[in-house]
Structure 1
Amino acid sequence: MESSFLIRPRAPYAVDPLNSRGRLVPEPTSPTRTEWQRDRDRILHSSAFRRLKYKTQVFVYHEGDHYRTRLTHTLEVSQIARSIARALGLDEDLAETLALAHDLGHTPFGHAGERALDACMAGHGGFDHNAQTLRIVTRLERRYAAFDGLNLTWETLEGLVKHNGPLLGEGRPETDLPFGIVDYARVQDLELGSFASAEAQVAAVSDDIAYNAHDIDDGLRAGLFQIDDLRAVPFLAELLEDIDRLWPGLDRSRRIHELTRRVITRFVEDTIRESAGRIAELGPKSAEDIRAADHAVVAFAGEIAAADKAIKAFLYPHMYRHDRVMRVMGDAENIVTDLFAIYRADNEEMPEEWRDLGDGPARAAADFIAGMTDRYAIQEHRRLFDATPDLR
């Protein structure tokens, strides 16, 4: 990669912490931290962030200490986001902040828990983990005397909500938005019809890069598929050929690591080149120009976009829908469904601070369950039911 990408001054289209749109509840500025650094620190010290340690990425926590959890995934996304943001002249702190917060709303047991909770909440506004992230940082974290939530800046909230693109437009009415986002839109306008900052777009792309690399790594180490199976993906076959040419006979563990690090490197470097080209073509003079664009400026190039789709197409049947994973996740969904039924019927089974948040018993139950770690959800199920799945 060209050395000019390694160190770049802040670009005019980067979001400037000195010109933040501020916080919903005004606060004095910090003499030692920028606005995004302050947001980052509030996220790092939040209860929701700590709980990511025991939330499933793909494998339930007790299956092994070497598999990713939501927390380790989040840290990997953060590292990748800082690297890309630095190369593009963006604000690293905002990109890092958004990466650290992006999964706060995930339920226990990964996407299986989310599917179960969304089904339970049918007729009550549904459940969406991105909307739940917004709900956590604006309402459910109750630590500060002056406000609920973390009172993050407008730019951080915008990035959390819109990192995957605009939520309104093309005939999509506001009523189609997830509950937590619709609810908050009545309080503060996050301009849901436009793109988010380039920093938010970096966080979204970094999430995809981390997923691709570490799910290959975890799937191989779990024995769900073998290294040679990956040759079905031309992009991965090319990387494996390069590794085998340079280090013939390399042991399996090092071979896996060499593959995953190459996946990250190729995706990051090509993303930087593609994004730099898109930004140059757009010619933005400010962060507002990025928001006003009719397309994302941070994205994969054509070849890497194809590789991204091919990797996901491989992982879906070989990992996410693998019989072993599906059996465990099916039992996990039942745990979430059982807990929801109990808490909705009798809110006294929940801690007092979760019983009445003003949105009805179903939403209170969903908020409580969504905040659980895997092991706490299992513990609660054992307390309330005679038999609990082993999830092994």
Structure 2
Amino acid sequence: MQRFSAPYASLPAQSRGRVFPETEEDFRTPFARDRDRIIHCQAFRRLKHKTQVFVYHEGDHYRTRLTHTIEVAQVARSIARALGLDEDLAEALALAHDLGHTPFGHAGERELDALMRPFGGFDHNAQSLRILTRLERRYAGFDGLNLTWETLEGLVKHNGPLVSREGDPVGRYRERGLPEAIVDYVSGHDLELASFASAEAQVAALSDDIAYNSHDIDDGLRAGLFDLIDLGDVPLVGEALATVLREHPNLEADRIVHETVRRVLSAMIHDVISETQRRAALYGPGSAQQVRDLAVPLVDFSRQMIENNRVLQSFLNEKMYRHARVEDIMVRARRVVRDLFEAYLHDPGLLPVPWRELSREHADDLRARQVCDFIAGMTDRYALTQHKQLFDVDPLFR
């Protein structure tokens, strides 16, 4: 059913299984079922109207969370196939990686985190875990989607270990500690937070970087936040642009952009494949577990590509993410999130049923988390509609 060539690939037949045992199917592996359940869940559908960088009213051709996620999944499958990994697991993780994001992109997340500080904060990775293990309520026998251990592990650890071997939080969690949602979950279902995740999860993480670094160039140019000439000195992008102009001197602007972006995308994909093959030869992992036990990630960019991406990210931060047009909308978007949170927290009767009844039964911290879950699940336009109904103003567009 699957084509495996890497000895360190995750094997569906050796999956650690699901919290609630189910009879597996002959025509779909456990990881393929995970992927399909993610695609069919409500949280995945809502990504269609959640901001990537540009709020939906700014145009129909910019990436949303959904189109970004589909692009990540395509990149992940391509890399996994080239490396002889389980494509279904890599795709499932790519499709799930942004489920926990709030409306209005990172601006919405920052505001919700600030509002939730007295109640444990907000983290989109932890929120994805809550969605997949608790908040999706569709199946008769369990809450969540009852995904395999490997998919949940990869979702939580796709960017690397969350704690040291001694149990101390590391990386982004070093200062504030692990989110309560992750701590609570692993107390009953150990996801081995001190180790790396599978090679497939690492592929999904790098595919996210590849996709947004590439498509943000496209969207930024389309929005007029910077010009082609500005990219000339950006490593990798400038080289790709120079190649296109040399090979196609009379090409119209839109095609120049596409040809440049696709060369950047291909270069990053080939770099990941090449570097991972080099590391596999160096470290010689003979199983998926040995990938987890390594002291460094198996799947990564080369040092040169890491530097290229650092410079590109610096360029995009300055020219795009911090552009006055983008920041102005995001300041207003944060106000939408803040107004909704404060209104629902102080008057749970404003919440729709069944959220209203659940919220009334909770103490302050649990009620705040309930409100947080509700707002985090909103699409951009639903949040704006709710805000207009409650306050009769349109803060995003005035």
Deviates more, 1:329-338 or 1:9-18: 9-18
- Structure-1 separation of matches of 2:347 and 2:321: 34
**Structure 2 spans left out of the alignment, 5+ residues:** 170-175
Structure 2 residue identity aligned to 1:361: R
In 2, Cα distance between the equivalents of 1:168 and 1:329?
Answer: 32
Q: Which residue of 1 aligns with 2:162?
A: 167
Q: Structure 2: how far apart are the matches of 1:191 and 1:89?
A: 24
Q: Which residue, 34, 43, 50 being the options, matches 1:39? A: 34
Q: Residues of 1 paired with 2:287 and 2:34: CA distance? A: 22
Aligned 8 A contact 1:10 1:91 in 2: no
* C-alpha distance after superposition, 1:183-212 (max 9, x if no partner): 211221000000000000000000000011
1:362 is aligned to: 368
CA RMSD across the alignment: 1.5
CA contact (8 A) 1:21 1:154 kept: yes
Instruction: Map residues 219-298 of structure 1 onto 2, 5 A cutoff.
Output: 219-298=220-299
Instruction: Give the CA deviation at 1:327.
Output: 0.2
**What secondary structure does 1:220 align onto?**
helix
Q: For residue 309 of structure 1, what is the aligned residue in structure 2?
A: 310
1:382 matches 2:372:
no
2-structure distance, mates of 1:10, 1:372: 42
Deviation at 1:288, TM superposition (A): 0.4
8 Å CA contact 1:108–1:372 kept in 2: the answer is yes
**How much has 1:172 moved relative to structure 2?**
6.0
3-state DSSP class of the match of 1:176?
coil
Measure the CA separation in 1 of the matches of 2:182 and 2:300. 25
Range with bigger deviation, 319-328 or 235-244: 235-244
Alignment of 1:176-215 (within 5 A): 176-215=177-216
Amino acid paired to 2:389: R
Q: Out of 89, 94, 99, which is 2:94 matched to?
A: 99
Taking the aligned partners of 1:207 and 1:391, their CA distance within structure 2 comes to 30
Contact 1:8 1:88 in 2 (8 A): no
Task: Please give the alpha-carbon distance, in whole angstroms, between the structure 1 residues aligned to 2:317 and 2:354.
Answer: 39
Query: What TM-score do you get using the length of structure 2 for normalisation?
Result: 0.94
Q: Is the 8 A contact 2:30 2:148 kept in 1?
A: yes
Q: CA deviation at 1:317?
A: 1.0
**Counterpart residue type for residue 95 of structure 2:** L
CA contact (8 A) 2:102 2:378 kept: yes
Instruction: Specify the code of the residue in structure 2 equivalent to 1:76.
Output: E
Q: Give yes or no for contact 1:343–1:350 (8 Å, CA) kept in 2.
A: yes
Structure 1 runs not aligned, ≥5 long: 1-6
In 1, Cα distance between equivalents of 2:335 and 2:298: 41
Residue 136 of structure 1 deviates from its aligned partner by 0.2
How far apart, in 1, do the equivalents of 2:17 and 2:194 lie? 20
How far is 1:143 from its partner?
0.4
* Aligned counterpart in structure 2 of residue 371 of structure 1, from 367, 377, 382: 377
Q: Secondary structure at the match of 1:123?
A: helix
Q: Give the count of matched residue pairs.
A: 386
Cα distance, 1:170 vs structure 2: 6.8
Q: Give the residue type in structure 2 aligned to 1:266.
A: A
- How far apart, CA to CA, are the structure 1 residues paired with 2:71 and 2:105? 17
Give secondary structure in 2 for the equivalent of 1:234.
Answer: coil
Contact map agreement 1:167 1:192 (CA 8 A) in 2: yes
1:12 is matched with 7
CA distance in 2, matches of 1:322, 1:93: 38
Distance in 2 separating the partners of 1:101 and 1:234: 31
Deviations 1:46-97 (A, max 9, x none): 0000000000000001111100000000000000000000111100000000
Percent sequence identity is 61
Please say if residues 60 and 391 of structure 1, whose CA atoms lie closer than 8 Å, have aligned partners that are also in contact: no
| 1:321-374 superposed Cα distances (whole Å, 9 cap, x missing partner) | 000000000000000000000111112211223242766111001000000000
CA shift for structure 1 position 171:
6.3
**Are 2:121 and 1:126 aligned?**
yes
> 1:348 corresponds to which residue?
349
Distance 1:331 1:170 in 2: 42
- Between 256-265 and 347-356, the greater mean CA deviation after superposition: 347-356
Deviation at 1:275, TM superposition (A): 0.5
Q: How far is the alpha carbon of 1:260 from its aligned partner? A: 0.7
